[in-house]
Structure 1
Amino acid sequence: MNKKIIIFLVALSMIASIEVNSDDGLKIKVLNETELTDMLRGSCIQSTRSCDANPSIKLIKEAIKSGKKFKMISVDDFPNDGIVVAVQGIGGGGPWEHVIERTKSQGLEVLPDSERNNMVVDLISDFLGKEVTAIIRSEAAEATATALLVAAERNIPILDAGITGRAVPEVQQSIPWISGIASIPTAIVSPWGDEIIIKHAIDEYRVEDISRAIAVASGGDAVITMTPMNGDQIKYAALKNNLSDAIKYGKVTREAVESDKDPIDALVSASSGFLLFNGLVIKSDENGDRGFNWIDVELSGTGDFSGSTYKIFVKNENIIGWLDGELDAMSPDYIYNLDPNTGQSINSNAGIGSYPIGKEVAIIGVPSAYQWRSKMGIELMGPKHFGFEFDFVPIEELQAN
């Protein structure tokens, strides 16, 4: 075959997605490398915290080279008798250091993430007595790559949906629970291969307490599979097209940079959001405690925001923002912290959700999904849940004022 034709076909495979029908007649889309890269960058944007997409992109590209296929199915096309679960890591700020030291002295093997991710799906599948037929993303950020890789390894699709639409600090903060579906039974695997099933819990807060405690007692790390749902349940208890939105965010910022346009403007338009601030990080005080990273952030304004300051309260993710001491945005609405030159989420080598001192940051606010603005959604993710005394105010109202 002509060498030019070969090069053309390879390039075409990177930009053209393919829709196929599975053996059982399901309409499934095979994602190409460009879509996957855009999805991972867009997912970091959605995360509402610092997030480096590059390690995830590297893993996905390596999987593609090894022959893995990444398939996606829409909520509407997923069969009612199918079973989906969410897979994610769960961290623990303030881990038990003596456990880390003891397990090292014992020479206990730390299992690879890929092995644990599949172990935990097998564990929940065995407990349910049902085969898992698709994976749903638990939250934005690194959990997107986890869901993609687990699905590809098992040769099943990922669902074009999510159970949070963002990253969240606590397990119980999810759309399924707002919709009346609990996360139990929940399966957990430690770094060394301990297997735990939470068969029953009094409520979702206890699922958070128990699973977080296991992570803290496991060196600050565990893998969790939760919220098993059938195809009928996901139609009302998941955020449809959540991964398509991630692809869109990644695409519009990439194309803006490629055409020498402002990626922040492009993202504000694509997300129906608001530019809240531009500035330099002058303070980022972190405290790892009770399984979380608590951060007080302050930015000094640049450009149109010169002379102003912006403060952000972080509990793993951006929760509340104040412009010059006045409330400007709050959870459950989304607060994105982005690199103004690329439109991508800022990177940090410090704790989860951290802000590097001296980093230039653009802050964007986006209205959350309607489920988050319900009474229960606000109870789970509104300001009072995080210890503040004021009520939730939608970002549209705050920006109008």
Structure 2
Amino acid sequence: MRYLDKQAIQDIATGASLLGAGGGGDPYIGKLMAFSAVEKYGPVKLLDVTEVPDDALVVSSSMMGAPSVFVEKLPRGDEYQDLFDKLKRYLGTAVYATFPIEAGGINSMIPIAVAASLGMPMVDCDSMGRAFPELQMTTFSIYGLGATPLAITDEKGNTGILETIDNHWTESIARAITVQMGATSSMCIFPIRGSDLKRAGVRNIVSYSENIGKTIRELSKEKGSSIQTLLDVTGGFHILSGKIIDVSRSTEGGFNYGKTVIEGIDRDKNRQAEILFQNENIVLKRNGKVVETAPDLICLVDLETLIPMTNEGLKYGKRVHIIGLPCDPKWRTPKGIELVGPRYFGYDLDYVPIEELCRKEARA
């Protein structure tokens, strides 16, 4: 157990933004929410998952919807107090702790703000080890844990409790509600016991995010800092360095869809990369050949500072590194690939781990 100070929150936001794989929302907005809550209510206690009693009720706190909308449509501020109160009345049990549903700029910060304002601890664990666009795309689903009852609300005060027959129905119905709420909503989802969090969650994700963020912060002080140190910390692979020459985006059904085209520079001159995304980056092609797919992480960082780039912040002419990170081993199981592999997203591709693709590329 330890308490998160302002520097830790800053580093978590940066690291989780990288693990957001292009999605997860603007880390700046989430960070401001967390800073404000901690300044007003005091520091947040971060628990290791082993410190959570097996029978304790834990619930994630997050936002749902199109990340680009978060930039202009901010929460009211007291949504999660209402959501936790409604869940407590509905379940007849008080919530012991909250945790992030995913790693991402917004959803890594929401639980910090919630924990501070409600005076409860946050657990160093999530259900993805990265960010994904749909609610059923969690390691909890692999283990058969239900997402509901969930509590959902918007900034206007429309609130409800949802129970569904499975997690795919949770996604469909909650997404429809979110669209009607203006493409974003606040929610508390996956009310589970400590024992389930221990067996089905991705452990130490907050600490991992913090370590990545600290590494980037230290490297950003060095002029022309090397990407290799960041790759060593994350076990990642360098795919291409280049300049963004095109970004196309559309918002449909509560998702951001689009494509980013990057023209190689320096050693990658005469190469071109294309990234296809649905909130998060899903497929990466280099010179027309697929070199990485979900569930592995396709990430962009600034060429000079190594600060992670989210898809809503990409602009023509921006110079970036593309790096690929291996996903949590739970996603590489048959059930995990069925949930979040490229075929689920509509691509006629089989998932191949990034390290295997990189070995093949090196031998070619």
The 1:219–1:336 alpha-carbon spacing in structure 2 relative to 1, beyond 3 Å, is: same
Partners of 1:178 and 1:243 in 2: CA distance: 21
Partner of 1:249 in structure 2? 212
Partners of 2:305 and 2:14 in 1: CA distance: 11
1:26-41 alignment, distance < 5 Å: 28-41=1-14
Partner of 2:341 in structure 1? 382
Please give the secondary structure, in 2, of the residue aligned with 1:182. Answer: coil
Q: Please give the per-residue CA displacement for 1:253-311, whole angstroms capped at 9, x wherever unaligned.
A: 11122344625222111001101111111111112112211102111001211110000
Partners of 1:62 and 1:136 in 2: CA distance: 18
Q: Please give the per-residue CA displacement for 1:2-31, whole angstroms capped at 9, x wherever unaligned.
A: xxxxxxxxxxxxxxxxxxxxxxxxxx3111
1:100-119 alignment, distance < 5 Å: 112-119=75-82
Matched, 1:139 2:113: no
Calculate the TM-score normalised by the size of structure 1.
0.84
Deviation at 1:54, TM superposition (A): 2.7
Q: Please give the per-residue CA displacement for 1:87-108, whole angstroms capped at 9, x wherever unaligned.
A: 111115999xxxxxxxxxxxxx
1:57-72 alignment, distance < 5 Å: 57-72=31-46
1:4-153 alignment, distance < 5 Å: 28-49=1-22, 52-91=26-65, 112-140=75-103, 141-153=105-117
Matched, 1:183 2:147: yes
Larger Rg, first or second structure (1 or 2): 1
Pick which of 250-259 and 327-336 moved more.
250-259
Asked whether the equivalents of residues 241 and 264 of structure 2 are also in contact (C-alpha less than 8 Å), the reply is yes
The 1:138–1:263 alpha-carbon spacing in structure 2 relative to 1, beyond 3 Å, is: farther
Q: Please give the per-residue CA displacement for 1:153-188, whole angstroms capped at 9, x wherever unaligned.
A: 111111001111111111110011111111111111
Please give the secondary structure, in 2, of the residue aligned with 1:114. Answer: coil
Deviation at 1:48, TM superposition (A): 0.4
Asked whether the equivalents of residues 284 and 293 of structure 2 are also in contact (C-alpha less than 8 Å), the reply is yes
Partner of 2:157 in structure 1? 193
Asked whether the equivalents of residues 111 and 193 of structure 1 are also in contact (C-alpha less than 8 Å), the reply is no
Q: Sequence identity, in percent? A: 29
The 1:263–1:162 alpha-carbon spacing in structure 2 relative to 1, beyond 3 Å, is: farther
Partner of 2:178 in structure 1? 215
Partner of 1:285 in structure 2? 248
Letter in 2 for 1:59: M
Q: Please give the per-residue CA displacement for 1:93-141, whole angstroms capped at 9, x wherever unaligned.
A: 999xxxxxxxxxxxxxx99432112222222222111111111101122
Partner of 2:328 in structure 1? 369
Asked whether the equivalents of residues 94 and 290 of structure 1 are also in contact (C-alpha less than 8 Å), the reply is no
Partner of 2:233 in structure 1? 270
Asked whether the equivalents of residues 139 and 162 of structure 1 are also in contact (C-alpha less than 8 Å), the reply is yes
Pick which of 333-342 and 237-246 moved more.
333-342
Q: Please give the per-residue CA displacement for 1:221-258, whole angstroms capped at 9, x wherever unaligned.
A: 21111111111111111101000100010011111223
The count of corresponding residues between Structure 1 and Structure 2 is: 355
The 1:283–1:274 alpha-carbon spacing in structure 2 relative to 1, beyond 3 Å, is: same
The 1:302–1:94 alpha-carbon spacing in structure 2 relative to 1, beyond 3 Å, is: closer
Deviation at 1:353, TM superposition (A): 4.5
Root-mean-square deviation (CA), in Å? 2.0
Match of 1:310 among 254, 270, 273: 273
Partners of 2:328 and 2:75 in 1: CA distance: 35
Partners of 2:107 and 2:260 in 1: CA distance: 25
Matched, 1:332 2:295: yes
Asked whether the equivalents of residues 184 and 254 of structure 2 are also in contact (C-alpha less than 8 Å), the reply is no
The 1:126–1:111 alpha-carbon spacing in structure 2 relative to 1, beyond 3 Å, is: farther
Runs of 4+ in 1 over 6 A off after TM superposition: none
The 1:189–1:221 alpha-carbon spacing in structure 2 relative to 1, beyond 3 Å, is: same
The 1:93–1:269 alpha-carbon spacing in structure 2 relative to 1, beyond 3 Å, is: closer
Structure 1 unmatched runs, 5+: 1-27, 96-109
Asked whether the equivalents of residues 337 and 363 of structure 1 are also in contact (C-alpha less than 8 Å), the reply is yes
Structure 2 unmatched runs, 5+: none
